[in-house]
Structure 1
Amino acid sequence: MRDFLIVGGGVAGASAGYFLAESGGVTLLEMERAPGYHSTGRSAALFSEYFGNQAVRALTAASRPFLTTPPPGFTDAPLLTPRGVLTLCPAGAVDAAERFAEMLADGLSAPTPVREIDPDEVRRRCPIVRSGWYSRAMLKPAAMDIDVDALHQGFLRGIRARGGQVITSARVRGLFRRGGLWRAVTDAGEFAAPTVVNAAGAWADEVAGLAGVRPVGLRPLRRTAFLADLPGGVDATRWPMVTDVADTFYFKPESGRLLISPADATPMPPGDVRPDDLDVAIAVERLHKATTLEIRSVRHAWAGLRSAVADDTPVVGETPDAPGFVWLAALSGYGVQTAPAVGQIAAAAARRTPADAAYAHLSPERPLLDLRTWNDMERL
């Protein structure tokens, strides 16, 4: 028996396990043969304090110190490297112009404010952007690439180094509470602990159902991405990520090529999702309109699931009517960049330490769309 069971070995579950292993025995249960197979391993890998609602931005800012200066021995490589995001306003679109103005005003309050840039600077930063396609442009200078694998593996190594277990091929088939312990029946055997953390990603509502806990209404959403070659001799290493204010596409340099996405969010049941050829074609068409790049072939395409609830805010905390059942779910597309913060919050909830009260606004019982105040987030 251990002190804590964690269901799900993606970056969120691994983060919670890392922090919980400081104070107790941890068993992390991963249903696949390797942790991070689904959403974590298919992330666009961007750290952006301009991204998401007020809650998400606060969680991201709270994660920055860990990502900037991880603990000694956590990783041999930097977790964050400069990238920036260039956001374009399509010419002639009234709704887009209004959204651009809102985004620009909102971004002025970021730790590193956004700034509007002129066409000359757009060309210098990303020469393939088609000059007549957009009317205005802004730069989000502090957005950075995240080394997702280094972050994820650092958490997993930390669990093991602190005496924890990472059990793979351990899909949970049954979960019930008996004798003050949560008991998980899995493909790898039965495990028990007083507290269980539900970090099962797109499967989190299913895990709750096994435990007899009310679901939070997760919506798994498919996001498609693919790699395409650049023209010969073009070095895109220093280009920013490029997107539009309506969030209909994005692209960014990746391993000498471009990673491209139509920014789709198609509802899907939990599973090993695959890219749809139509989504790939839509992304290619949108990129042809917005840039001078001619995409003649797709190198590799994939899809992942972004699981969200109605207010697009993470759900973290203990369920009041199920003692010892802690949620760590609904991280949407923000899971990697918020992992250090939500992992610590989930660990505090699992230990029932005073931090619980400070972050009650993320709990599964919170009123949806109620963001309340986030001053306490600065204390993380």
Structure 2
Amino acid sequence: MGDFLVVGAGVAGAAAGYFLSEYGHVTLLEMESAPGYHSTGRSAALFSEYYGNPTVRALTAASRAFLTAPPPGFADGPLLSPRGVLTLCPAGDEDGFAAMLADGLSAPVPVREIDVAGVTRYCPVVRAGRYTRAMVKPGAMDMDVDLLHQGFLRGVRARGGAVVTRARVRGLSRTGGRWRAVTDAGAFAAPVVVNAAGAWADEVAALAGVRPLGLTPLRRTAFMANPPGGADAAGWPMVTDVADTFYVKPESGRLLVSPCDATPVPPCDARPDDLDLALAVERVEEATTLRIRGVRRAWAGLRTTAPDDTPVVGEAPDAPGFVWLAGLGGYGVQTSPAMGRIAAAAATRTPPPADGADPAALSPGRFTAASHITESETFPIRHMATE
């Protein structure tokens, strides 16, 4: 027994569990053999306050303080480190570039347009003369995703919580004011369940008799390649274009490359598609002087979006004690501190943090004609001191 069940122990579920563990006992239920297998472990690992719609950018900004200065003992190294992004404008994409530039000027560290003739000063392999405009996003940062994820999980355990792996939920029902989850690792019960199941979140909702949201899992492909012979790419920015057709980013002494694909797929253990890999090579070689002679390691991950491409965080209007934390759309890692706090507030029915996005913009009730939680009850939650 416990106070909270969290379905999914990726970075979003782990963050929710971390902040919920201040209030009571948390059990994280992870269907794989290790947390973070599908999305968290396959992230591009970039913190960018220029990325996403206004709600997403507000969540990202609200997460910066935690990521810059996490609580004592949370991590044994920095979670963020300098990187920057160089965004290029191919001919014909000038309107999109202008809109991105205008949005980026309001970021905490504003974007800066640069002379397109000087792009090689920022990254020496960009193909000169191919682009009509260029900008830099100096506030974008590399993230140590594993350090962040493990910090959340360690915090849950330190406060007496449990992380249960190989615990795929097979049944979820509510009786007597408690949710009961039947899993491959046994049965667990609590007054509140947080649905942080990623691509499987609608399936978990259906098990509980909760209206699904219409989430769409999207496959994103990436691979590692070697930098040019003898080149030290560590100081290069991430390079992309305004149409989001590719990116190339220094990573662990190599280059992380993606065609920025977003192919709808059913929830699955995503695998890279050969055509997407070929497209990534073609696009990077058109944009730069790089010649990619071999793919060192390729993978694909899932980024699951809500119909309006805005995360869903809040209590289900048709199920008391069922809290959504889903549809993170590739923003989950960089917004995890803010979304974890908002999910914890929804789960405890306490005021949400004042520095994040408007909870109404995140509420699952926005997809229904009217919210209709009619059961008025308080959850038996005890408050624990923050460690």
TM-score range, shorter chain: over 0.9
- 3-state SS of 1:333 partner: coil
Structure 1 residues 356 and 154: CA distance shift in structure 2, 3 A: closer
Number of the residue aligned with 2:60: 60
Number of the residue aligned with 2:342: 345
Conserved? CA contact 1:227–1:259, under 8 Å:
yes
Number of the residue aligned with 1:134: 131
Number of the residue aligned with 1:10: 10
Number of the residue aligned with 1:365: 365
Runs (4 or more) in structure 1 with deviation over 3 Å come to: none
Number of the residue aligned with 2:258: 261
* Deviation readout 1:291-327 (Å, 9 max, x if unpaired): 0001111000000000001210000000122010000
Conserved? CA contact 1:317–1:356, under 8 Å:
no
Q: 2:170 aligns with which of 165, 173, 189?
A: 173
- 3-state SS of 1:332 partner: coil
Which aligned pairs between 1:1-380 and structure 2 lie closer than 5 A?
1-90=1-90, 92-93=91-92, 96-119=93-116, 121-355=118-352, 359-367=359-367
Conserved? CA contact 2:116–2:132, under 8 Å:
no
Question: TM-score, with normalisation over the residues of structure 1?
Answer: 0.95
* Deviation readout 1:46-98 (Å, 9 max, x if unpaired): 000000000000000000000000000000110000000100001x32xx111
Return the alpha-carbon distance in structure 2 between the equivalents of residues 154 and 290 of structure 1. Answer: 38
Return the alpha-carbon distance in structure 2 between the equivalents of residues 355 and 130 of structure 1. Answer: 47
The gaps in structure 1 that reach 5 residues or longer are 369-380
| Residue type of the alignment partner of 2:130 | W
Conserved? CA contact 1:20–1:347, under 8 Å:
yes
| Residue type of the alignment partner of 1:248 | T
Q: CA RMSD for the aligned pairs?
A: 1.2
- 3-state SS of 1:81 partner: strand
Return the alpha-carbon distance in structure 2 between the equivalents of residues 110 and 231 of structure 1. Answer: 33
Structure 1 residues 290 and 356: CA distance shift in structure 2, 3 A: closer
- 3-state SS of 1:182 partner: strand
Return the alpha-carbon distance in structure 1 between the equivalents of residues 77 and 264 of structure 2. Answer: 36
Query: Comparing 69-78 with 354-363, which one deviates more in the overlay?
Result: 354-363
| Residue type of the alignment partner of 2:126 | V
Conserved? CA contact 1:47–1:146, under 8 Å:
yes
| Residue type of the alignment partner of 2:35 | P
Conserved? CA contact 1:253–1:259, under 8 Å:
yes
Return the alpha-carbon distance in structure 2 between the equivalents of residues 306 and 281 of structure 1. Answer: 21
- 3-state SS of 1:260 partner: strand
Return the alpha-carbon distance in structure 1 between the equivalents of residues 192 and 353 of structure 2. Answer: 15
- 3-state SS of 1:154 partner: helix
Conserved? CA contact 2:83–2:138, under 8 Å:
yes
Number of the residue aligned with 1:376: none
